[in-house]
């Protein structure tokens, strides 16, 4: 499935011309300007591979954009660690490295407490079921509807939903903070006119500004636009359970920061 079609090709795309660059890259000093330039180019050129691997893991309850970020991180690691002098081509090294990064994201970094694999998988299937059922019902499903859809018991759905509360969604931000030279943010950030409206009159603005773009957007949509979590999930492109976790985290962070009461009139439309 992810094996290179030939030594330097992946899904019909040939990366052979990049091979000499790895040799040059490996011998460069990190302080050399050429080093950063080459690193950037090698990562960018191989991005389609990371994106493809991320797609293979979609529909498992994680946002596509998150997966692409994790896969890209795997790619960056692969570029940094690849040793062209060992006679292995880059693709054979990079693909398992990227896959490993994505798998690790699923297995470990997302969970704050040790949740058994079986429960994690149930959580992911429930997350996917919520998304499917929301589409077909036009509203959020109930646990009994999820149980029926998946052919499991209500009790199992309860356990899966509960497990979701032990899931940590900030792992990505933490992972990515080390790799800020790669402009991943460009793909994610987008202007939000709805937010502007609130920001203009909000005394809470400085606090909102400390949040990242997506957290802020979700907060605004839920509390100032009265959208449901399911609607937000669809609009933002992440799962409902993920929206729920982000809201819980954001509110708790804001609570820690709000010392002064915010006048209501500065918040209302």
DSSP state of 111: B
Q: What is the pattern of x (binds another protein, CB under 8 A) and - over residues 156-195?
A: -xx--xx--x------------------------------
Tokens coding 220:
């605004």
Q: How far apart are CA 136 and CA 43, in angstroms?
A: 39
80 binds another protein, rule: CB under 8 A: no
Query: Could you give the 3-state DSSP secondary structure of residue 14?
Result: strand
Q: How far apart are CA 103 and CA 247, in angstroms?
A: 25
**Number of residues in contact with another protein, rule: CB under 8 A?**
38
262 binds another protein, rule: CB under 8 A: yes
Q: How far apart are CA 229 and CA 32, in angstroms?
A: 48
Rounded least distance, CB 202 to another protein, Å: 9
97 binds another protein, rule: CB under 8 A: no
Q: How far apart are CA 69 and CA 28, in angstroms?
A: 26
Which position has the token pair 């997506």? 214
User: What angle do helix axes 64-81 and 90-104 make, rounded to 10 degrees?
Assistant: 140
Contacts of 12 (CB under 8 A, 6+ apart): 5
Question: In this complex, which beta carbon is closest to another protein, that of residue 98 or of residue 147?
Answer: 147
Rounded least distance, CB 194 to another protein, Å: 15
140 binds another protein, rule: CB under 8 A: yes
Which position has the token pair 């500004």? 209
263 binds another protein, rule: CB under 8 A: yes
Q: Out of 177, 191, 200, 226, which residue is the one contacting another protein (CB under 8 A)?
A: 226
261 binds another protein, rule: CB under 8 A: yes
255 binds another protein, rule: CB under 8 A: yes
DSSP state of 212: -
247 binds another protein, rule: CB under 8 A: yes
Rounded least distance, CB 143 to another protein, Å: 5
Task: Name which of residues 193 to 212 contact another protein (CB under 8 A).
Answer: 204
Question: In this complex, which beta carbon is closest to another protein, that of residue 18 or of residue 254?
Answer: 254
Calculated CA dihedral for residues 79, 82, 83, 87, nearest 10 degrees:
-110
Residues in contact with another protein by the rule CB under 8 A:
130, 137, 139-144, 146, 154, 157-158, 161-162, 165, 204, 222-223, 226, 228-230, 240-241, 244, 247-248, 251-252, 254-255, 258, 261-265, 267
């Amino acid at each position: 499935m992810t094996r290179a079609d030939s030594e330097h090709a992946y899904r019909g795309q040939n990366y052979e011309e990049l091979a000499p660059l790895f040799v040059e890259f490996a011998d460069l000093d990190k302080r050399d300007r050429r080093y950063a330039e080459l690193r950037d180019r090698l990562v960018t050129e191989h991005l389609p591979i990371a994106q493809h691997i991320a797609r293979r893991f979609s529909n498992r309850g994680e946002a596509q954009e998150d997966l692409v970020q994790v896969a890209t991180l795997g790619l960056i690691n692969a570029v940094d660690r690849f040793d062209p002098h060992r006679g292995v081509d880059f693709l054979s090294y990079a693909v398992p490295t990227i896959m490993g990064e994505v798998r690790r994201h699923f297995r470990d970094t997302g969970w704050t407490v040790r949740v058994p694999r079986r429960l994690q998988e149930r959580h992911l299937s429930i997350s996917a079921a919520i998304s499917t059922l929301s589409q077909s019902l036009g509203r959020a499903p109930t646990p009994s509807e999820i149980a029926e859809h998946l052919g499991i018991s209500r009790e199992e759905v309860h356990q899966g939903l509960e497990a979701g509360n032990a899931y940590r969604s900030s792992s990505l931000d933490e992972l990515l903070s080390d790799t800020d030279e790669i402009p991943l943010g460009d793909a994610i950030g987008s202007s939000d006119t709805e937010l502007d409206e609130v920001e203009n009159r909000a005394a809470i603005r400085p606090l909102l500004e400390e949040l990242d773009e997506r957290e802020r957007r979700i907060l605004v949509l839920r509390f100032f636009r009265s959208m449901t979590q399911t609607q937000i999930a669809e609009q933002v492109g992440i799962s409902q359970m993920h929206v729920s976790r982000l809201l819980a985290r954001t509110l708790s962070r804001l609570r820690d920061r709000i010392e002064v009461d915010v006048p209501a009139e500065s918040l209302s439309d």
